[in-house]
């Protein structure tokens, strides 16, 4: 009935069919990171950063997901075009990465649809230098169709240990509407959120199967007792949590 519903459903089926192996590798990596008390981080610039917010501090989400926020990349920055300038600037991502306590064998999830902008490449290179495992959520066809804006000429999919392709259309809009050249309805947020929440759910299942009775999953703070349960879990996993409750 609705074009966007139909197209997103089609893309999700493509992701499930073609990215199963990469998603499973990511599940395994996050499971081991939690079991071995390694830190897990996530970063994206501008709209890509919506998925950082998606995984951070919410009921049913994972306590051990640490967000990386760049103030100059947030969508409340004015003028909004300033965020585009900052994500293309060589060096900003490097400086931002240096504020993060990366350690060898930690995990960093990087979300960039085009995979071409300097801030994400800087972040990947700095994390890579410190021995961090990188999961890239990107659009491989889109990224291959453009050049890197980073001095290294690298794109995100060329730097990651695990690459998950979101299978969206080049340019992100996914619905063709007669009378307008530009495709309408970006798909990367809903597809990316589905992929990442799938990883969280399956990671939790694996941890329970390995005998972890209290995996690091947030209880709703709006339910009675939720705050206390979250504080108890936070105390258990505090060595790999880099934010304050």
Q: Which domains does the chain have, with CATH numbers?
A: 3-238 (3.40.50.10490)
Percentage, residues of the chain above pLDDT 90: 99
Q: Which residues of 78-94 are buried (b: 16+ CB within 10 A; e: fewer)?
A: eeeeebeebbebeebbb
Residue with tokens 């990671």: 203
- Convert the pLDDT of each residue in 63-98 to its tens digit: 999 999 999 999 999 999 999 999 999 999 999 999
173-175 vs 65-68, strand pairing mode: unpaired
- pLDDT attached to residue 11: 98
Q: What integer pLDDT is reported at residue 108 of this predicted model?
A: 98
User: How do residues 1-26 score in pLDDT, each as one tens digit?
Assistant: 899 999 999 999 999 999 999 999 99
- For residue 136, how many other CB atoms are within 10 A of its CB? 26
Contact 215, 34 (CB under 8 A): yes
Question: CB burial class (10 A; 0-12, 13-18, 19+) of residue 190?
Answer: middle
User: Strand 107-111 vs strand 184-186: parallel, antiparallel, or unpaired?
Assistant: unpaired
pTM of the model: 0.96
Q: Give the alpha-carbon dihedral of 30, 150, 187, 218, to 10 degrees.
A: 30
CA distances from 200 to 37, 161, 171, 215 (A): 16, 18, 27, 11
pLDDT value for 169: 96
The rounded distance, in Å, linking the Cα atoms of 148 and 245 is: 38
Q: What is the pLDDT of residues 193-202, one digit of tens each?
A: 999 999 999 9
Q: Note the pLDDT tens digit of each residue in 153-174.
A: 999 999 999 999 999 999 999 9
């Amino acid at each position: 009935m609705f074009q966007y519903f139909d197209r997103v459903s089609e893309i999700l089926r493509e992701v499930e069919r073609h990215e199963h192996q990469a998603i499973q590798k990511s599940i395994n990596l996050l499971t081991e990171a939690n079991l071995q008390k390694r830190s897990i981080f996530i970063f994206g610039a501008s709209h890509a950063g919506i998925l950082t917010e998606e995984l951070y501090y919410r009921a049913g989400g994972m306590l051990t997901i640490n967000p990386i926020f760049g103030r100059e990349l947030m969508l409340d920055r004015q003028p909004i075009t300033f965020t585009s300038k900052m994500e293309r600037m060589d060096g900003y991502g490097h400086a931002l990465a240096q504020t993060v306590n990366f350690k060898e064998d930690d995990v960093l999830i990087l979300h960039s649809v085009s995979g071409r902008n300097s801030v994400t490449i800087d972040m990947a290179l700095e994390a890579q230098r410190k021995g961090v495992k990188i999961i890239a959520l990107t659009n491989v066809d889109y990224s291959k169709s453009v050049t890197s804006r980073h001095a290294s000429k690298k794109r995100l999919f060329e730097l990651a240990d695990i690459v998950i392709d979101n299978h969206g259309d080049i340019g992100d809009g996914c619905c063709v509407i007669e009378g307008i050249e530009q495709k309408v309805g970006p798909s990367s947020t809903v597809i990316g959120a589905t992929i990442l929440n799938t990883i969280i759910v399956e990671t939790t299942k694996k941890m329970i199967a390995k005998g972890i009775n209290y995996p690091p999953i947030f209880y709703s703070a709006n339910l009675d007792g939720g705050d206390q349960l979250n504080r108890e879990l936070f105390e258990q996993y505090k060595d790999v949590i880099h934010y304050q409750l």
